Amino acid sequence: MKNITISLLCLAFLINGSLTAQTGARFGLKSGLSLATQYGITPADDIYKVKTSGRIAYAGGVFVYFPITESVGIQQELLYAMKGSGQDVTITTPVDINTVSEYKLNYFEMPIVIKYKFVNIKNVGIYGSTGIALSLLINGDYNITSTIDVGAPALIVTEESGDMKGVDTFDYSFVFGTGADFRLLKKNFFFEYRMTVGWNTLLMPNATGAEPVPLRNQDYVFALGLYF
């Protein structure tokens, strides 16, 4: 099923790309640094303390930009996006329990965004963008270390690891961004900042015997792109 979906996504992208000569669309590449994180765990309180860390990762791929007017256009992308987070959860009860989890997920992501250029200064155009994205999970893994403090010098420590087979294959996101088009060395480039906020609540693996951890993906990407 996953292979069929990947093929369909690629086919749709190629069909759209074949229209570039008829529509004046522009093909390009983009690549950047992503700070990925996840949110959704119950907020900290007196007995439940949560620390979340991000995953510094990569995001990049190809795109087709379809101009509608001089200022407005639609951009369709096919990206490889690395996501995930670190979750450090401490539950303070008569027995203190600390669980440290590291989640890594890798996706094919297909955003469709509307771009609006609202400022043009010489060879630089400033734009904003918003849209939606469909993500297909390719693979991933997790590592979980649980420590139970039963008092005195005794600590019970367990370690677990595995893949992400039980996590939802698809993720849906909202996309928001801003950036600047510019011309350099006779080439057309752009630099952009983008935030992707997950809509799906993913049930992430937890320590054996514990409930899955409900989290949503969120990432912040700084990317450099080139129009052909």
* C-alpha to C-alpha distance for 222 and 192, rounded to whole angstroms: 6
Taking 80 as the threshold, does the pLDDT of residue 4 lie above it?
Answer: no
Domain region containing 194: 2-227
Q: What is the CATH number for 83?
A: 2.40.160
Q: Element (H or E) spanning 82, and its range?
A: strand 72-91
Taking 60 as the threshold, does the pLDDT of residue 22 lie above it?
Answer: no
Tens of pLDDT along 152-203? Answer: 666 788 899 999 988 999 999 999 999 999 999 889 999 999 999 999 999 9
Q: Which residues contact 184 (CB under 8 A, 6 or more apart)?
A: none
Mean pLDDT of the chain: 87
Backbone angles phi, psi at 36, to 5 degrees: -95, 145
* C-alpha to C-alpha distance for 163 and 182, rounded to whole angstroms: 42
User: By the 8 A CB rule, do 180 and 126 touch?
Assistant: yes
pLDDT for residue 131: 97
Q: Binning pLDDT at 50, 70 and 90, where does residue 109 land?
A: very high
User: By the 8 A CB rule, do 225 and 28 touch?
Assistant: yes
Q: Length of the chain, please?
A: 228
Residue 206, CA distances (Å) to 3, 61, 115, 164, 210 in order = 28, 32, 39, 11, 6
Taking 70 as the threshold, does the pLDDT of residue 8 lie above it?
Answer: no
Other beta carbons within 10 Å of 133: 23
pLDDT for residue 15: 46
User: By the 8 A CB rule, do 108 and 78 touch?
Assistant: yes
Domain count, the chain: 1
Q: Binning pLDDT at 50, 70 and 90, where does residue 24 land?
A: confident
Tens of pLDDT along 46-68? Answer: 567 888 999 999 999 999 999 99
Q: What is the mean pLDDT of residues 84-96?
A: 86
Closest C-alpha to 206, from 96, 89, 107 = 89
pLDDT for residue 167: 93
Taking 70 as the threshold, does the pLDDT of residue 204 lie above it?
Answer: yes
pLDDT for residue 43: 58
Between 42 and 204, the higher pLDDT residue: 204
pLDDT for residue 166: 86
Model confidence, pTM:
0.84
In terms of DSSP H, where are the helices of 64-173? none
Residue-wise DSSP of 28-81 = EEEEEEEEEEEE-SPPP-SSEEEEEE-EEEEEEEEEEEEESSSSEEEEEEEEEE
pLDDT for residue 1: 45
* C-alpha to C-alpha distance for 178 and 98, rounded to whole angstroms: 39
Closest C-alpha to 217, from 10, 55, 79 = 55
User: By the 8 A CB rule, do 140 and 84 touch?
Assistant: yes
pLDDT for residue 44: 55
